[in-house]
Structure formats: structure tokens, C-alpha cells
Amino acid sequence: MVRKGLLTFKTMPSIATTGVTAGPLEKQSPFSDQFDKIYDDERCDTKTNEHAHAKMMEDACMIALSKVDANPSDADYLLIGDLVNQMTPSNFSATTLAIPYIGMFSACATSISTTIMAALLTEMGMSKYAVAGASSQHNAVERQFRYPIEYGAQKPETAQWTVTAAGVAVVTPQKKGTPSITCATIGTAVDLGMTDPLNMGAAMAPAAADTLYRHLKGHQTKESDYDCIMTGDLGKSGFEIYKKLAGNKGIQITENFRDAGAEFYGDDPLFLAGASGAGCSASVYFSEVIGKMMKGEYQRVLLIATGALLSPLSFQQKDTIPCIAHAVELTMK
């Protein structure tokens, strides 16, 4: 069946294992005890932030593969991405891992877009082990998009903090006892004229609400069917706007609505609106959510990762920020 951007996976590929690595600052995250590896050094004992970025990704992939007793040489595809120019950290980790590689960019929605692609490859019977994921490193990303790290600019309360984390999932054909990918929705780019890169939550909220609405309508499900509907990195302020927009579309807002970015650093006012970055949704989805599914706390979840598709050049030229949100539905049977 052909439908606009709506995918249904009949073979129900599984997320067999996951691997999550994070930086030292992320120790204070309420999810930190579920991360597989936390580095003591923000540069992971490498020379540059970009090397650390690549190493985090590599380690996450190795950890995830080792959990299914596989080597990088057993993996069929590597679908990863990040936010740095031309995705060099992902490219370098792909070189080291030597798995056939497609770099993907959907900004902070990369975790879900890569998972969807991995599920598609698996559905077609062309992949046994597909590694999907995303990562971000605070210092490497902030220097791209904002001021130098040590520059003392006052950030508004809507500003978010790019996390240092990487999260990958190993997608395999249907496997008992693991969460399976049943359907997904590819988002459309939404641009409602927001221009402030320090308020990306507000820019991304309409995209998230749009994808949620399209997913529920297209797959004929109700919001109450899910144990958890988790967005990626809208942050505290963006999350409120998203709930309001979803409410306007007739969707019932319940306790099951969660946002990884808003929850990532707890209530620490130092991090303002919360976390952002490609690694934010990836690390929370592939630790907290998958963990709860394995324990049986969640039966059916909807993960919506949002991404702001801006570049430093585009916002300096006063362009608006187009945003995207991809959704994937996981069930545990």
C-alpha cells in the first residue's frame, strides 16, 4: 500500500540491542545509570572535541554490537549522523568500524530517521544487522552553531544545551523478547517563520505536532493506545507549545506525553530549557525507553524526534528555521 510518508513494517524488525555513551556532564542526568559508558573526560582522552565525538559514536556501536555477540564485520549497514559540518565525526567512526555506511542528516531527528531506514532495509530482507543512531558533542556542536564555548553571552530561558552523548540501536529481523518496529511516519518539513536559534523548541514544536497528528490519523490509532509518546528535544518551553498545538488538533494530552530534552538534565536551572542535539533523543530513546520496554513497563510507544534544519549561515542571513519530525512506533509482544 502506498501512502504519503506512512510506513508499515509487516515483518516487524526488532531493535535487538542498543548502545549509549555519554560525556562527564551527563552523569547528573536522571537517565545516566542506564547509559552503557560514561567518559570521565569531555574529550574522551583524545586531542580534539571532534575526535571525542567520533570515539563516542564508535564505542556506542561496539557496545551495541557486542551485546548480540557480533563484530563490526558482521554488521551489514551503518546508518549514523551528527550535526558537525559534513558529519565528519560519523565519517571517521565509519572508517574505523568499516561497516558499509550511509551518513544521514536530519539534524536532531537523525536517531529516528536512521532507525526508519534500518527498518526498511531489514524489511526488504537485505540486512541482518543494521546499526542506526546519532550522536552529538557539546563543544563540537556549540562552536558550529553558536558563540565560542567560553564566551559569556547571556542565554534566554528558551535556550537549550547540546548534550554530549551517542546512542545507537542494532536493528535485526524480528526477534522474540525485543521491541519491534511496527510502523513509522516520515515528517514533512514545517516552517512557521521562527528565526531565533536560541528558541529552537518553538521552531520545532509545529513539526512535532504535525507528525504526531499525521501518524495517529494515518495509522488509525489513538493517543490513548500508547504507553508513552516521547518527543526528542523540544525542551521545556517548546514542549508546552507542542502540547498546546496537539491539543488544538483534537489530541488528548495525558501524562504519557514526555520530552527527552526537557527531562534530560532534570530541573537544573543551569541548563535553561533542557537538552538538545542529535545525541539527546538517541541516548534517551535507546536507554530509558528501550529499557522500560524490555522490563515490560511500556508495551507500545511512539517516538517522535524533532530536528531544526538550520545552518550557521542560514540564520545569519536571517532565514527562517525549517523543522522536521520523524515518528516511529515500537511494540513489545
Partner 1 sequence: MDEKKYAKLEQGMSPKTPLVRNMVFAFLTGGTICLIGQFISLFYMSFFDFTERTASNPTVATMIFIAMLLTGFGLYKKIGQFGGAGSAVPITGFSNAVVSAAIEHKSEGYVLGVGGNMFKLAGSVILFGVFSAFAVALIKTILVKLGVVSW
Partner 2 sequence: MNKVKEEKAYCEKMEGTRIRKVVMLFFTLILLSGCSWNEIRSYDGANGESEKAQELFTNDNRVVSAATIFHEDEVVAGISLKAFSRFKKDKIEKELKKELEKQYPDREVTISADSKIWMEANKLIDSDEKKDIDKTIKKLKSLLKEET
Binding residues for partner 2, rule: CB under 8 A, are: 157, 267, 269
Beta strands at 14-22 and 37-38: parallel, antiparallel or unpaired: parallel
CB atoms within 10 A of CB 101: 17
240 binds partner 1 (CB under 8 A): yes
CB 202, min distance to partner 2, A: 15
Q: Three cell numbers at 78? A: 551503518
Q: Which does 253 bind (CB under 5 to 8 A by kind): partner 1, partner 2, none?
A: none
**Which of the residues 23 through 52 are near partner 1 (CB under 8 A)?**
47-50
172 binds partner 1 (CB under 8 A): no
Q: Which does 148 bind (CB under 5 to 8 A by kind): partner 2, partner 1, none?
A: partner 1
Q: Which does 269 bind (CB under 5 to 8 A by kind): partner 1, partner 2, none?
A: partner 2
CB 139, min distance to partner 1, A: 8
Distance (Å, whole) CA 299 – CA 14: 14
CB 154, min distance to partner 1, A: 4
Q: Give a three-class secondary structure readout of 15-80.
A: EEEEEEEECHHHHHCCCHHHCCEECCCCCCCCCCHHHHHHHHHHHHHHHHHHHCCCCHHHCCEEEE
**To which residue does cell 519491534 refer?**
180
Q: Which does 147 bind (CB under 5 to 8 A by kind): partner 1, partner 2, none?
A: partner 1
**To which residue does cell 571532534 refer?**
50
Distance (Å, whole) CA 86 – CA 65: 26
Q: Which does 267 bind (CB under 5 to 8 A by kind): partner 1, partner 2, none?
A: partner 2
CB closer to partner 2, 98 vs 253 = 253
CA 18 to chain centre: 13
136 binds partner 1 (CB under 8 A): no
Q: Compute φ and ψ for 300, nearest 5 degrees.
A: -145, 125
CB 236, min distance to partner 2, A: 9
Tell me which residues touch partner 1 (CB under 8 A): 47-50, 143, 147-158, 192-194, 199, 202, 206, 237, 240-241, 244-245
